[in-house]
Amino acid sequence: MRRDLLLKLLESGDKVSIYSPLFSGEEYSEFEKFLLAFMDNTEYGEDLGVIMGRLEVIKRMGVEDRYFRFEGRPSDRVHALPAYLESSRLRLYCLCISSKVLILGNGGIKETQTYQEDPYLNKCVETLQKIDFEVRQRENRKEIVVRGTQLHGTLTFYIND
């Protein structure tokens, strides 16, 4: 199934700009859906606080590997929050495009040893892997270019789901 999307700019700053996929026909981006799912959930409030706190640090300091868990395959840019040093039952999956550009996806409660064992978390990661593949292709063709903290070019495309 073909899914059209826009890499929606959520926040632009001096150190980092944050984007999130917004699929055609949907009201909220993937990150906004993650927030809506957990922001009023008292059981996971502390976990969400850890992730949001880490995002605040990233906005001030930039996108650095030490803030993330490596996820996905070695050939992609999929990472997860929080980092290994912080404990949380929640995972937020993202793409670290550069030290100044971060794409936030979706995530959820991690109750299995690996994300691949959980169908929902696996789908979150696979979606970002497909987006990463398309963004890389466009970067190679110079259709998407990172300038400072911004992605420039065609930020609308589709992935096969």
Chunked into runs of 10 residues, the chain (161 residues) has average pLDDT values of 95 96 98 94 89 95 92 91 77 96 96 92 97 96 96 95 82
Pairing between strand 101-109 and 144-147?
unpaired
In the prediction, which pLDDT does 151 show?
97
Residue 107 in tokens: 């995530």
Contacting residues for 139 by C-beta, under 8 A, at least 6 apart: 145, 146
Residue 93 in tokens: 């999956």
CA–CA separation, 41 and 44 (whole Å)? 6
Vertex 56 angle, CA 54 and 61, to 5°: 90
Judge whether 74 and 147 are in contact, CB under 8 Å.
no
- pTM over cut 0.85: yes
In the prediction, which pLDDT does 42 show?
86
Name the DSSP class of 53: H
In the prediction, which pLDDT does 86 show?
65
CA–CA separation, 111 and 144 (whole Å)? 36
CA–CA separation, 126 and 12 (whole Å)? 26
In the prediction, which pLDDT does 129 show?
97
In the prediction, which pLDDT does 41 show?
86
